Structure 1
């Protein structure tokens, strides 16, 4: 039997906190798009995010985070290769026909990032619980670690959602490879910030500041870019009245008919 290092119920709590990040990022990030995004595709990409995030957090731990925390080196090359592969995977998933048919790349990217980010949060909380002597702000299972975990759940999935949504918007505009390189740099920066932030949490407030800027851009440009002219007019009208309609279920070219 595989030894987890902690009781199963503690791992379940860590996982639950990570998934809370999905709710925070979904409600906080896409609240203005209720009724205007492709819900089935967004849900499917969320599941892809969970699966991809499980692999991503494992590789992030073994290749990037653990070497930094143990003081054995600064794995820049490994982190760049890992995040570039993840960015290419993101772009591949967001350019599939099932996503493109409803111009759902930005919102699908958002939910994919939420799923992947929540899995990364599970890893970070697990390390907080099990790691001693690494100089983390808090360690062991207790209220301080859980509160720190909730903070991470509020910012990490949201950050990765913004990056993936930005990639989706670029895919919608016909740009693929260059945005993947930029996304690689963003993911690498996020990983190093989190690695250092567990020891020096005073650098973590930089992430919410960037979330604010990214969210503003998503609301004004990325999400709206996938709407047809008629749907865009309806969206603007409903934002003024505060009323939302049902989930969008037809392709963009059909909406104009």
Structure 2
């Protein structure tokens, strides 16, 4: 039997992989043109906030849900307490909003990029706690079980990054209340989906389309974090790269 320390290390390692892969792509594409130090500081705060959020979700939502499912095996979805669900999701969204309202973030207009970094860390901590629970289940080291764990590690950080980055983008548009309410709705939906797929992996067919549809918009949100001078430089770089590719052909 694997010790709890070993399971914790394994779940932490998987969560770090998911966070690293979530950083690649949209954040590396604009690397050097947004406020990177501020984004990295948001990772730290995201780990702190994400740890509290994940523990709250585990105690108030997952444990009661787990008991409901395991007591009656005929129940495919026992449901989550709607008040606890909205409280946990609202807590994370309001806390994220306050972190993205910090003077350092607002001065640089880096809410979307800082939101992506913050969301990656929040989602990573959520995935870590959830995977720790999953590793305690019998049969988790089967093909389906490991695939389910892998999807949690990859999707949870990216999905929360999409939610928080859009939150930051809406803040730039002076839609603060809308940002909090939308983030609360999507974060609650994500929690419901993640807890559901722990016992019913078929639920990924409902989660993945939303992530894939929202992912292309992330570049638009991060683009708003790039200063005007940086945008001009980026356009010149991309134009030069396009010309060099055309010349090579």
Tell me if both proteins adopt one fold, taking TM over 0.5 as the criterion.
yes
Q: Is the 8 A contact 1:54 1:120 kept in 2?
A: yes
Deviates more, 1:142-151 or 1:181-190: 142-151
Counterpart of 2:71 in structure 1 is none
Gaps of 5+ in 2: 69-77, 243-249
Which deviations, in whole Å up to 9, do the C-alpha atoms of 1:201-253 show, x marking residues without a partner? 1121333322222221121x21111233332222223234459xxxxxxxxxx
Where do 1:141-180 residues align within 5 Å? 145-180=145-180
- Paired residue for 2:22? 25
* Contact 1:172 1:226 (8 Å CA) reproduced: no
Instruction: Choose from 41, 44, 47 the match for 2:44.
Output: 47
Alpha-carbon distance, 1:143 to partner: 6.7
Any conservation in 1 of the 2:34–2:227 contact (CA below 8 Å)? no
Map Cα deviations across residues 96-138 of structure 1 (whole Å, 9 max, x no partner).
1111121111000001000011111111111112245xxxxx4
State the alpha-carbon separation in 1 of the partners of residues 193 and 223 from structure 2.
Answer: 30
Confirm or deny that 1:37 pairs with 2:34: yes
State the match for 1:74 in structure 2: 80
Give 1:93-112 correspondences, 5 Å limit. 93-112=99-118
SS of 2:113's partner is helix
User: Structure 1 stretches of 5 or more lacking a match?
Assistant: 133-137, 244-257
CA RMSD of aligned residues (A): 2.0
Distance in 1 between the 2:48 and 2:17 partners? 17
> How far apart in 1 are the matches of 2:241 and 2:164?
27
Deviations 1:9-32 (A, max 9, x none): 221111111111110100033232
8 Å Cα contact 1:67-1:73 kept in structure 2: no
Partner residue, 1:222: 221
Q: Residue 231 in 1 paired to residue 230 in 2?
A: yes
Counterpart contact for 2:33–2:227, Cα < 8 Å: no
Relative to structure 2, which stretch is displaced further, 181-190 or 21-30? 21-30
Do 1:105 and 1:169's aligned partners in 2 also have CA atoms closer than 8 Å? yes
**Is 2:192 aligned against 1:192?**
yes
TM-score, structure 1 length as denominator? 0.83
Which residue matches 1:122? Answer: 128
Which structure has more helix as a fraction of its residues? 2
TM superposition score normalised by structure 2: 0.86
